[in-house]
Amino acid sequence: MIRYSIVVPVFNEELVVEESYKRLKQVMDTTNEPYELIFVNDGSRDKTPEIVAKICENDKNVRLINFSRNFGHQTAITAGMDNSSGQAVVVIDADLQDPPEVILQMIEKWKEGYDVVYGQRLKRKGETFFKKVTAKMFYRLLSSMTSVDIPVDTGDFRLIDRKVCDVMSSLTEQNRYVRGLVSWVGFRQTAVTYVRDERFAGETKYPLKKMLKFAMDGITTFSYKPLKLSTYVGFLVAGASFIYLLVVICLRLFTDATVAGWASTLAVSLIFNGVILMMLGIIGEYIGRIYDEAKGRPLYIIREKLGFDKGDDSAEK
């Protein structure tokens, strides 16, 4: 029986995937227990799938899932977890920013009886100031907006027990924010802290647009607060308008300065239109996601699976 499954999402990682395989193999071999490395190729347009297929041919512990196109990091992780069979499942980025050696500490905690062991970043090396600041702000904003206890500065680098993995697979929601879902399901959770290294090679596969979508998913799937904002702002604006209306009536009745109101009329109209559009946008973010759920499309489409039929190697170990 396979003891550990390591899930590695890869998107255009031809420069790093070989090295991450080596490091992961080195670390996992020291456990002396049967394991599998599942690379999920998220529609790479470079040599990544060929490189992994080759590794897969030569190493019976390696598996490859090829998506039909790019479905995104969170979906790739989900597919890896769905197709894993280990008693403990570890999710780790391919770029070696999360040091594979930390997996051993996670395994220790798991053996102590924890069901989820997540990696908490003490420091991030080699990332832009912008990324560090926005990430820090985002994690704190999200935790202030939701009642789910989502740990801050924690990515998807974590170990989860089989039973947690099965529960996660039974959640069919689209636009997944995996690290939030893992917190939401509960179980006994603990952290190991680590220093996030620099990317081994290549560039980040999370440009600003993907980061924004990711942040929006995190907030919308775990908080209604933005929707409530419309109510609060609505009341506030209605109250202010009422006062302004009283002022206007008084001016009309008791003075003759009512014509010179062009600037103030325009200002009020601009503010109100801005607020209304913003609120509509927020509502739209939620409706779009409801629409995604209503369509009920599969989360991902697998083009091909390699290495999954190599059978159980526990007899050799």
Cβ partners under 8 Å of residue 97, min gap 6: 196, 197, 198, 199, 200
Q: Closest by alpha carbon to 140, among 194, 218, 231?
A: 218
Mapped onto helix, strand or coil, the DSSP state of residue 254 is helix
Q: By CB under 6 A, name the one of 51, 52, 79, 94 that touches ligand UDP.
A: 94
Mapped onto helix, strand or coil, the DSSP state of residue 260 is coil
H or E element, residue 302: strand 302-306
Compute how many residues bind Mg ion; rule: CB under 5 A. 3
The rounded distance, in Å, linking the Cα atoms of 316 and 287 is: 53
The site partner of 24 among Mg ion, ligand UDP, none (C-beta below 5 to 8 Å per kind) is: none
Residue 11 binding ligand UDP, by CB under 6 A: yes
Our CB check for ligand UDP shows the closer of 7 and 282 to be 7
Our CB check for Mg ion shows the closer of 193 and 241 to be 193
131-161 burial, b at 16+ Cβ within 10 Å, e below that, comes to eeebbeebbebbbebbebebeebbbbbbbbb
The site partner of 13 among ligand UDP, Mg ion, none (C-beta below 5 to 8 Å per kind) is: ligand UDP
Residues in a beta bridge with 161: 88
Our CB check for ligand UDP shows the closer of 70 and 87 to be 70
The rounded distance, in Å, linking the Cα atoms of 197 and 59 is: 27
Minimum separation from the CB atom of position 142 to ligand UDP (A): 16
The site partner of 14 among Mg ion, ligand UDP, none (C-beta below 5 to 8 Å per kind) is: none
Minimum separation from the CB atom of position 217 to ligand UDP (A): 13
Count the neighbouring beta carbons within 10 Å of the beta carbon of residue 279.
18
Q: By CB under 6 A, name the one of 5, 83, 97, 220 that touches ligand UDP.
A: 97
Residue 95 binding Mg ion, by CB under 5 A: yes
Minimum separation from the CB atom of position 252 to ligand UDP (A): 58
The rounded distance, in Å, linking the Cα atoms of 266 and 152 is: 43
Tokens of 148: 């789910």
The site partner of 196 among ligand UDP, Mg ion, none (C-beta below 5 to 8 Å per kind) is: none
Q: By CB under 6 A, name the one of 4, 6, 13, 167 that touches ligand UDP.
A: 13
Minimum separation from the CB atom of position 100 to Mg ion (A): 14
**Most distant CA pair in the chain, distance:** 97
Residue 70 binding ligand UDP, by CB under 6 A: yes
Minimum separation from the CB atom of position 98 to ligand UDP (A): 9
H or E element, residue 173: none
Q: By CB under 5 A, name the one of 97, 154, 174, 220 that touches Mg ion.
A: 97
How remote is the C-alpha of 255 from its chain's centroid? Answer: 60
DSSP secondary structure, 134-172, as one string: HHHHHHHHHHHH-SS-PPTTEEEEEEEEHHHHHHHHH--
Q: Which stretch binds ligand UDP (CB under 6 A): 69-77, 165-173, 230-238, 291-299?
A: 69-77
Q: Where are the alpha helices (DSSP H) in the chain?
A: 17-29, 48-58, 73-82, 102-112, 129-145, 162-170, 178-185, 208-222, 225-254, 262-295
Q: Which of residues 164-203 bind ligand UDP (CB under 6 A)?
A: none
Residue 13 binding Mg ion, by CB under 5 A: no
Minimum separation from the CB atom of position 128 to ligand UDP (A): 9
The site partner of 206 among ligand UDP, Mg ion, none (C-beta below 5 to 8 Å per kind) is: ligand UDP
Minimum separation from the CB atom of position 205 to Mg ion (A): 7
> What is the binding site for ligand UDP (CB under 6 A)?
9-11, 13, 42, 70, 72-73, 76, 93-95, 97, 204-206
